[in-house]
Amino acid sequence: MEQGSKSSGLTLRKYQEDAVRALVGFLKHFPDRAGVACLPTGCHAAGNLGFFNAEEVAPVGDYELMPEGMYTMIVDASEVKTPKSGNGEMLSLTLKIVDGKYDGRLVFENITLQNANEKAVQIGKGKLSALCRAVGVLQLTDSTQLHDKPFLAKLKIGKARDGYEPRNEVAKYEPKGGAVPVAASGLPADLDGDVFPF
């Protein structure tokens, strides 16, 4: 049995392989013996991660901040959440860069939807409007309508705050390649409602 071999979808550690090897050898020499065999299973047999061994993976250091500038991105995931303050509602976005040197890197953006602070709500609605226009969806009913549509984002480096290091933040959303805004009907916004003679 090779070290790290898999049995029933689990990767065995060396001490587990040695125990299995010893048990198989015993059963070959004494096939008529009955009994119970106890094998070491380790502490990773159950749990929501299956098994992860940090000794086998190099640790990741701090991500370098991406330089300020324009990047082609998509909305990769979105979720409406209650902020830590418990006050209001925000749209939490995972934005992914889809080309260039930083392809695959993620930027996290929270857009205020509801809050006791009316100015925060106005800023949030303005950001959401800019993102909607950048991806060509003017009438939004579900945040998944924003997913997987390329747009340009101007990234800046935000200041350190609330105990967190500086991080990349979106300063501006723009359409990529002259995207045409789309109305809820699916027609380009400037044609929505027009009557066609054909």
Q: Which stretch of DSSP H or E encloses residue 88?
A: none
Domain contains 62: no
Q: Looking at the domain assignment, is residue 123 inside a domain?
A: yes
> Would you say residue 186 lies in a domain?
no
How far is C-alpha 113 from the chain's CA centre? Answer: 21
Of the two residues 155 and 29, the one the predictor is more confident about is: 155
What does the alpha-carbon distance between residue 22 and residue 59 come to, in Å, rounded to a whole number?
A: 35
Residue 96 has pLDDT above 70, yes or no: yes
* Judgement on whether residues 162 and 88 belong to the same structural domain of the protein: yes
Reported residue count of the chain is 198
Tell me if 197 is assigned to some domain.
Answer: no
More confident residue, 84 or 143: 143
Q: What is the CB neighbour count within 10 angstroms for residue 52?
A: 9
pLDDT averaged over the chain? 80
Q: Which domain holds residue 90?
A: 69-175
Place of tokens 């902020």: 83
Looking at the fold, whether 99 and 159 belong to one and the same domain comes out as yes
For the residues 18-38, what does the mean pLDDT come to? 73
pLDDT at 125 over 80: yes
Question: Could you report how far apart the first and last alpha carbons of the chain are, in Å?
Answer: 72
Residues 52 and 74 in one domain: no
Q: How many Å separate Cα 38 from the centre of its chain?
A: 41
Higher pLDDT, 162 or 91: 91
Shared-domain flag, residues 122 and 50: no
Mark whether 85 and 151 lie in a shared domain: yes
pTM over 0.75: no
Span of 57-66, 85-94, 135-144, 151-160 with lowest mean pLDDT? 57-66
Confirm whether 2 is domain-assigned: no
Quote the number of domains for the chain: 2
CA 23 – CA 82 distance, rounded (Å): 54
Q: Are 97 and 113 in contact (CB under 8 A)?
A: no
Query: Is residue 192 in a domain?
Result: no
